[in-house]
Structures are given as C-alpha cells and as structure tokens.
Amino acid sequence: MGRTILTIVGVVLAVWLLMTVIGAIISMLKLFFFIGFVAVLVVLAVTIVSKMSRNH
C-alpha cells in the first residue's frame, strides 16, 4: 500500500515539475521575444532619425 502511494506521489511530483519547467521556458521565450521586439524598434528609430538628419 505504501509503495502505491509513493508511486502516485512521485508521478504527481514529476508532472508538476514538468509543467513548471515548461512554464519557465515559455516565460523565458516571451521575455526574449519582447526584448528582441524592443531592440528592433530602437534600431528602426535610430535609422529613421539618422536618415532625417542627413536629408537636412
């Protein structure tokens, strides 16, 4: 009986750990995509400002 309970607890803990790791990876990827998006916006802004100052 004790072995069955420990097996069930082990499976529940393994599933919980898997979901936690998947959530952390997805959260990290969202952060990286956000940082990349901000970097692209900064590059575009600098490019537009430099082209406008060159024309005048």
Q: Residue 2: which pLDDT band, with cuts at 50, 70 and 90?
A: confident
Q: Residue 1: which pLDDT band, with cuts at 50, 70 and 90?
A: confident
Q: What is the pLDDT of residue 56?
A: 64
pLDDT tens digits, 7-51:
999 999 999 999 999 999 999 999 999 999 999 999 999 999 998
Q: Which domain holds residue 26?
A: 1-56
Question: Alpha-carbon distance 10 to 1, whole Å?
Answer: 14
Instruction: Give how many domains the chain has, as a whole number.
Output: 1
Q: What is the pLDDT of residue 54?
A: 76
The model scores a pTM over 0.85: no
